[in-house]
Every structure is written in C-alpha cells, then in structure tokens.
Amino acid sequence: MDPFLLEALLNGVLLGGVFALPALGLNLVFGVVDVVWLCYAELVMIGMYAVWFLYTQAGWPLALACAACLPIVAGLGLALHWLVVRPLLTAPPINQVLATGGVLFVLQGAATLVFKTDFRSLGVDMPPMELGDVFISGTKLIAFCAALVGAACLWAFLKFTYVGTAIRAIARDREVMPLMGVDPKRIYLIASGVGGTLAGLAACLLVVQLDVHPFVGLSFGPITFMICVMGGLGNMLGGFIAAFMMGLIISIGGFYGSTELSYVIAFGFFILMMFIRPQGLFAR
C-alpha cells in the first residue's frame, strides 16, 4: 500500500476522533434538551482562547490551563442554558435555533473585541512518530487518545451513574420521566453542563492543532452538526462511527483532490444521508 495513502487514512481516523468529541457533546444536548446549540463551535473557540491566554499570557503550565478550560466552558454552557435556552423551552424550534445563532454572533464579536482578529498559536508541537514508512503527528495522536478517554468517561457517566441513567431516560421519553420523579429542568441543566465540559475538552484538543481566531468555529462547526445528526440522537457509537467516516472522507478526499473538494464531498454525503436515513445512520 502507498505509504502516503496509509498516512492519509491514519490522519482521517485521528481527525475523526477530534470531530467526535464536540459532536458527542452536541448530541447530548440536542438529544436531551431537544435544542440545537448553533453556537457550540463558538463555545469551543472561547475554550481555545482560554487555554491560549492562560498558557502563553498568564504563564500557566499547559496541563493546568487545560484543566481550567473545562470548568470555564462548562460554566458558559450552563449560562447559555439558563439565560437563553430555558426561557425558550416551549417556543417553536426556529426561535430556539435563532437565539443560539444570536449567541454565536455574541461570542464571535466578544472574541474579536478582546483578542482582535489575529491568529494565535500555542506554539507547542511534538515530534512526529514514525511507524514503518508512516509519520504521525504526535500532537494529533495525543489529542486522539484524549478524545477516546473523554468519550469513555462520558459513556461510563451515562451508563453507571444515577444521573446518567436519568439523562438517558429523559432523552427517550420526556413525558413519562417526570411522572417517575425525575425533574427534567435539573436534568436539562446537568446535560448542558456536561455538554459544555465536552466543548471545553474539545477546545483543549483543538488548540494544540489549530491556530485560534474569532472565526475558527466556522471551520469545524458545520461538520460537527452533521456528525451529530448522522450518528443519530442519543447514539454514542453511531456518533463515533459518523465522525470517523467524515474524518476519512475529508482526509482521503484531500489526498486525491483539494481540501475544499473533500469538504464538499463530506457535506454532500451528509445531505444524501439525510435523505436516505434521516434518523441517523444506525437508527433501528
């Protein structure tokens, strides 16, 4: 096999792992609260700025900066739910989506006001690893492993804790669960907090690979939505597989053609999937 193609394949898998995390967070919020956070990628962007600021400006160690990033973004997620989504829970879906679209503008504007439009980079890079003929970027590999660990933690939380069970139950039937003594408002808030935490984790993984600027969210936001929907609501495994598929499409498309065309194929694939399997790739 052509080592360059193999490298593209591996990079696709690594890219998929990084896409998976924000898609899972979005999936959780969409599945539980039934509201699309159009500004999800912008929450990640704020997290990236937080890590960048704490690490390069405040001089914190990188690990500490990343650890601080999680509660910051989780707090943003809670605030978003409390201030914007909660009053609109009974409003038509259009109004909910547009309100979170407004938050997208607010976050982009705020980032531009505070940090200007310059591209900021952490300036950390790890030496590439060599596997036979194939080189893999060390940062990408670490980000991938962290994404897997994050997803595993989420899975364990949803599977084995009481609150996690309640979250899954609410996602399945939001009419019956309140009768069983679960307070949906509280569950919504918790899900938003967890969704925010995942955005924070995604920010830590992305900031080592991408330069951060106020519009960076637009570069991976749309693809995150598509993965989230393609995987199927509430289906974590489906989300992961969808993320890998998208990662592979983009990476291999980029190998044979250009980056833009590979994204065109990925988005086209999404539209096609919406027509064929609107409930997600692995819906029963």
**Site residues, another protein (CB under 8 A):** 30, 36, 84, 87-88, 91-99, 101-114, 117, 214, 218, 221-222, 225-226, 229, 258, 260-261, 263-264, 267-268, 270-271, 274-275, 278
Of 115 and 155, the one with the shorter C-beta distance to another protein is: 115
Of 92 and 132, the one with the shorter C-beta distance to another protein is: 92
For the bound state, the minimum distance from the C-beta of residue 206 to another protein, rounded and expressed in Å, comes to 18
For the bound state, the minimum distance from the C-beta of residue 45 to another protein, rounded and expressed in Å, comes to 13
Cβ neighbours, 10 Å, residue 198: 31
Partners of residue 134 on adjacent β-strands = 131
Q: What is the DSSP letter of 127?
A: P
Residue that has been written with the tokens 């519009």 in this structure: 215
Would you state the structure tokens that stand for residue 185, as one six-digit string? 């408002």
For the bound state, the minimum distance from the C-beta of residue 31 to another protein, rounded and expressed in Å, comes to 12
For the bound state, the minimum distance from the C-beta of residue 86 to another protein, rounded and expressed in Å, comes to 10
Of 3 and 93, the one with the shorter C-beta distance to another protein is: 93
Contacts of 32 (CB under 8 A, 6+ apart): 167, 170, 171, 187, 188, 191
Query: What's phi and psi for 136, nearest 5 deg?
Result: -120, 135
Of 67 and 110, the one with the shorter C-beta distance to another protein is: 110
Of 144 and 270, the one with the shorter C-beta distance to another protein is: 270
Q: What is the DSSP letter of 213?
A: -
Under a CB-based contact definition with an 8 Å cutoff, are residues 135 and 129 in contact?
yes
Would you state the structure tokens that stand for residue 213, as one six-digit string? 């600027």
Of 96 and 197, the one with the shorter C-beta distance to another protein is: 96
Under a CB-based contact definition with an 8 Å cutoff, are residues 226 and 281 in contact?
no
First to last CA, the chain: 36
Under a CB-based contact definition with an 8 Å cutoff, are residues 66 and 53 in contact?
no
For the bound state, the minimum distance from the C-beta of residue 103 to another protein, rounded and expressed in Å, comes to 6
For the bound state, the minimum distance from the C-beta of residue 282 to another protein, rounded and expressed in Å, comes to 16
